[in-house]
Structure 1
Amino acid sequence: MTDEHRGGGSRRRVLAGALTGAAALVVLGVAALNRGDGAPAGPASRAGSTSAATPAASAGRTAAASAEPTGSPVPTWEGPTPPPIDPKLSKGSDRAPVTIVEFGDFDCPNCRHYAQTIAPALKREYLDRGVIRIFWRDSPIRGRDSVRAAVAGRAAARQGRFWEFHDAMFAGRPRLDDEGLRAAATRAGLDVARFDADRLDPALKRLVDADLNFALQLGLPGTPAFLINGRLLFGAQPLATFKRAIEKAR
C-alpha cells in the first residue's frame, strides 16, 4: 500500500468520525487538557469554565445527560479518554484564562499557514501577555511522512526544544525524510546525534499514535483543529476569527 493510500485512509477515518464526534466538540476542554503528565493546572480548572479539570471531568469525557440533581456545579461527562499532554509541548502561563489546543500535522499546508501568519500575532497580543496557554497534540493524518515528523517533534521535546523544532519545520517547506528532519533539528539547536537516537525509540511513536487516535475518536475533520477553552475552531481561520473566539473564552 502506498503512503498516499495510507494518508487517504486516515483522512477517511477522520471524516467518518466527524459524523459521530462533532456534537461532542464544544465541551472538550477537559479532554484536550488532561493534566495527568505533570502539567500544572491553571485558571482553566476553576468552576464554571468549559475546560474545568474537576474530579468528575478529569477523564476528559464529553457532555451527556447528567444523573446529578439540577443545579449541580459539577457536570457528568462521557467520551474518549485523552492521553496525557507532555508539558514540553505547551507554552504560556499556567495561569492563563484561555487554553488553546492545536491538533496539527507537520506536513499540513494549512498548519504551516497558521504557524507563519496567525500564531505570531496571537503570541504578541495574547501569549506574551499571559492571556492564552497553547498546547500541541499530534494529528499526523497525511501518511508515513507526517508520522515520522511527529515522532521527530517528540524527540526534540526530549531536549526541551519542541517549539524551536516546530518553528524550524514550519518556517519553510522542509523535506520530511531523515535529511530534512536533521536539518530542522540543526536549525532548532538540537544535539542531532541524540535526536537521531531518540527518534528510534518506539515509545515516541506510541505517544504520537495515542494523540492521533484521540483526534480520530473526537471526529476532528482534519488539521489544523483548535479547541479554545473546549470549543472547536477548525482550520487556519483569519486572525479576527481567532481573536473573537479568544475574547469570548475570556
Structure 2
Amino acid sequence: MIEYSDFQCPFCGRFARDTKQELLRTHVEKGSLRIEWRNFPIFGEESEAAARAAWAAGRQGVFWEFHDRLYAEPRERNSGEFTTTKLVAHAKAAKVADLDRFREDMESDQAHQAVERDLEEGYALVSPVPPPSS
C-alpha cells in the first residue's frame, strides 16, 4: 500500500493514529502488507517543511519514528506547529542521531526534489493535468 499524506491533514493523522496501527498488527507484522509513504504536502509551507523534515529523518533511518511523533496528536493547521525549531525538537525526540545533518538535509535541494517528486507522482495518479509549479 502506498500512502500519500500531509502531516497537517486531520484525516491522515487519524489514519496514522488508528487505522495504520491496526494494519501493522493485522497485516504488516504477518507479512501480507507493506506500507510505503509518499509526502503529499498540500496545506502550505508548514506541510512542506514537515515533509522535508520527514525525508531528512529517513536519511538517518528513523522516518517512522519521526512520522509517529508528528501525527501523535491532532494539530491546528498552519499554526506554527511545524517551524524549523519544533521539527528539530521532534527529530531529537525521535532519536535522530545527527541533528546538524538533519538540519542540513531538511533544507537541501535533495529534500526539496524528493518532496516534489512525491507530489508530482501523487497528482499524476489522480489527474492527467500536471500539478501547479512551485
Same fold (TM over 0.5): yes
Gaps of 5+ in 1: 1-99, 221-250
Partner of 2:104: 197
Match among 218, 236, 239 for residue 125 of structure 2 = 218
CA distance in 2, matches of 1:123, 1:188: 19
Give TM-score scaled by structure 2 length.
0.85
Match among 164, 181, 201 for residue 87 of structure 2 = 181
Gaps of 5+ in 2: 76-80, 128-134
- Matching of residues 143-182 of structure 1 within 5 Å: 143-173=44-74, 175-182=81-88
Match among 12, 16, 21 for residue 120 of structure 1 = 21
**Residues 213-242 of structure 1, C-alpha deviations (whole Å, 9 max, x = no match):** 12112227xxxxxxxxxxxxxxxxxxxxxx
More strand per residue: 1 or 2? Answer: 1
The SS at the match of 1:136 is strand
Letter of the aligned partner of 2:116 in structure 1? D
**Residues 23-65 of structure 1, C-alpha deviations (whole Å, 9 max, x = no match):** xxxxxxxxxxxxxxxxxxxxxxxxxxxxxxxxxxxxxxxxxxx
Partner of 1:5: none
CA distance in 2, matches of 1:153, 1:188: 11
**Residues 1-42 of structure 1, C-alpha deviations (whole Å, 9 max, x = no match):** xxxxxxxxxxxxxxxxxxxxxxxxxxxxxxxxxxxxxxxxxx
Letter of the aligned partner of 1:181 in structure 2? L
More helix per residue: 1 or 2? Answer: 2
Aligned alpha-carbon RMSD (Å):
1.3
Partner of 1:37: none
Moved over 6 A (4+): none
Letter of the aligned partner of 2:48 in structure 1? V
How many residues were matched structurally? Answer: 121
Deviation, structure 1 residue 198: 1.1
**Residues 155-182 of structure 1, C-alpha deviations (whole Å, 9 max, x = no match):** 0011011111101111124611112211
